[in-house]
Amino acid sequence: MTVSLSLDTSALPLTRQRNLAGRAMLLLASGVALCALLPLGFIVWIAIETGWQTALALIWRPRVGELLVNTLLLEFCTLPPAIGLAVALAWLTERSDMPGAKFLSWLAVAPLAVPAFVQSYAWISLFPRFHGLPAATLVSVLAYLPFLYLPVAAQMRRLDPELEHAAASLGQSPARVFLRVVLPQLRLAVCGGSLLVGLHLLAEYGLYAMIRFDTFTTAIIDQFQSSYNGPAANMLAGVLVLSCIGLIGLEWLLRGGARYARIGSGAPRPAPRRQLGTWRWPAMALPITLAVLSLGVPALTLSGWLLADGDSVWQQGALAASLATTLGYAAAGAFAAVAVALPMAWLSVRAPGRATRFLESCHSYPGALPGVVVALALVTVTVRIALPLYQTVATVILAYVLMFLPRALVGLRAGIAQVPVELERAAASLGRNPARTLLAVTLPLAAPGVAAAMALVAMGVATELTATLLLAPNGTQTLATEFWALTSELDYAKAAPYAVLMILLSLPMTALLHAQARRSLNA
């Protein structure tokens, strides 16, 4: 084959590169960041507006102290057992030769598919007298354990076995190796997972309202429903945000500057599994007991209610309508969140830097805010500034976008990172113009990440209760709000099909998260 020089006789036009795309993205991302600062701005604004004296009077009450004690007790009772169980479960499923480890690791993640308030519905309808702190602790551990298990198990698999071998060769017994080498390396995963669980404990409404355990979030909604947007609710929201910030700060302190990375090159070889010997089969008791409590109890309750009432519960007209509404909200929320997160995701992959990191944290922080705070902020802003938008679909979607922006961002970033800039350059050097490069290279490769981001947001929206209760137009019925209305009337049988539908909608998310945690290890 001969290759002739392709001499183009016509002159190529020279143009200045103005990096229009980059600038447009920066502008858009800044706009989104400004919007995302709205809830924080709301807290600052009401603090200033209420004034020092009134704020103090509203906050310095026995009632607030009571809520604070409740919240602290809940955190302190839930986190230690959750951490212990997560580490034990992760060790059994990842590092021991327990039979059925793979299946049991799925079972450990599966409770994610059961929305927290459905979990507590299952327990309360089985044990109607189940109330207070013990109930709150048990249900919280069951509902939120996967948030700790997932990162700890992932980290456990990622550990370099060479370190453990080195410790053993330095004369440490297996138990001491675990304490001195393995456990310290789990610190980041434990801290991250605990923060996530802790924030959920602060933000959750349905779970605690159902078993009548008062937290800041339940108190805010009671307050809001009785006095509508009074300064008292706003002040409680302020204290709640402070609690969240305190939690984040605590996690930051505990995590320290530690970064545990492998030194050296090459992929680590998978760690060998420890032989449990005679404990092989008894070891299964722990994961199975947890699965029975977190999955078996909801399954038992739901099937009980469904069987008791037969087919009639499925024939409620409201069921189909609220499913349709939920799907519509989920789709709209997913599209909106992904569209809004796109500029930021693009910037953080293609133009990382200090400004990008700042914008990114503006995008991410609302994920740490309780839905009730986001909702209150939007209520206040719409009522005072843009009344026509109050209790409209647009406002609900905006709340979803703010709450689930971090989820969208994570998925999109991963998707765009699938397309290294070298591939776009390769396409350019092969004669494709930027638009055709986008179509032929960037989009096909980023599509899985975009789809995952949309799915995660959609499934979050599908089971969202708090913000929907506060913001949705009157008469709106989603699966979550309708389920909530029925359980408030103690009509547990009619509520069951709603719970089943919500679990079904959450299953793909659970599978997705589990798969992602596995894949990140192979990468």
Partner 1 sequence: MTQLVISNVSKRYGATAALDGVSLAVEPGSRVAIVGPSGSGKTTLLRVIAGFEAPDAGTVMLDGQLLADGPAIAPAHRRPIGYVTQDGALFPHLDIAGNLGFGLARDEPDRARRLRELMELVELDPAMLTRKPHQLSGGQQQRVALARALARKPALMLLDEPFSALDTGLRESVRQAVARVLAKAGITTILVTHDQGEALSFADQLAVMREGRLAQTGGPYELYWRPTDIETAQFLGNAVLFEARIEAVGVSCALGRLAAETGGRSGRGTIMLRPEQFQLSASGPGVEARVEDLAFRGAQCSVNLLIRNRETEIRFTAQVSSIEPPEIGDTVFVSIRGSAFLLPAV
| CA dihedral over 32, 35, 40, 41, signed as positive or negative | positive
Residues in CB range of 29: below 8 A, 6 or more apart: 343, 344, 347, 359, 363
Q: Which residue lies nearer to partner 1 by CB, 229 or 418? A: 418
Q: Which residue lies nearer to partner 1 by CB, 6 or 312? A: 6
CB of 430 to partner 1, least distance (A): 3
Q: Which residue lies nearer to partner 1 by CB, 170 or 426? A: 426
Nearest alpha carbon to residue 111 among 147, 86, 154: 147
Instruction: Give, as ranges, the residues between 423 and 462 that touch partner 1 (CB under 8 A).
Output: 423, 425-434, 437, 440-441, 444-445
The helix (H) or strand (E) run that includes residue 219 is helix 216-227
Q: Does 246 bind partner 1 (CB under 8 A)?
A: no
Q: Which residue lies nearer to partner 1 by CB, 310 or 352? A: 352
User: Which of these ranges, 9-17, 248-256, 344-352, 473-481, lies near partner 1 under the rule CB under 8 A?
Assistant: 9-17
Among 15, 169, 275, 474, binds partner 1 (CB under 8 A): 15
Q: Which residue lies nearer to partner 1 by CB, 2 or 53? A: 2
d(CA 502, CA 136): 21
Among 128, 132, 420, 473, binds partner 1 (CB under 8 A): 420
Q: Does 8 bind partner 1 (CB under 8 A)?
A: yes
Q: Does 274 bind partner 1 (CB under 8 A)?
A: no
Number of residues interacting with partner 1: please give it, by CB under 8 A.
33
CB of 370 to partner 1, least distance (A): 40
CB of 515 to partner 1, least distance (A): 19
CB of 2 to partner 1, least distance (A): 8
Tokens read off for 358: 């700042």
Q: Where are the alpha helices (DSSP H) in 418-491?
A: 421-429, 434-437, 443-462, 466-471, 479-488
Contact map string, positions 338 to 357, toward partner 1, x by CB under 8 A: --------------------
Among 16, 129, 259, 269, binds partner 1 (CB under 8 A): 16
d(CA 331, CA 280): 46
Length in residues, the chain: 523
Q: Does 267 bind partner 1 (CB under 8 A)?
A: no
CB of 429 to partner 1, least distance (A): 4
Nearest alpha carbon to residue 276 among 487, 78, 99, 70: 99
Phi, psi of 274 (to 5 degrees): -80, 135
Q: Which residue lies nearer to partner 1 by CB, 62 or 431? A: 431
CB of 20 to partner 1, least distance (A): 13
Residues in CB range of 226: below 8 A, 6 or more apart: none
d(CA 160, CA 167): 12
CB of 428 to partner 1, least distance (A): 4
Reduce the DSSP state of residue 96 to 3 states and report it: strand
Give Cα separations from 512 to 152, 154, 190, 383, 517 (angstroms): 17, 14, 21, 38, 9
Residues in CB range of 76: below 8 A, 6 or more apart: none
Point out which residues bind partner 1 (CB under 8 A). Answer: 1-8, 11-17, 420, 422-423, 425-434, 437, 440-441, 444-445
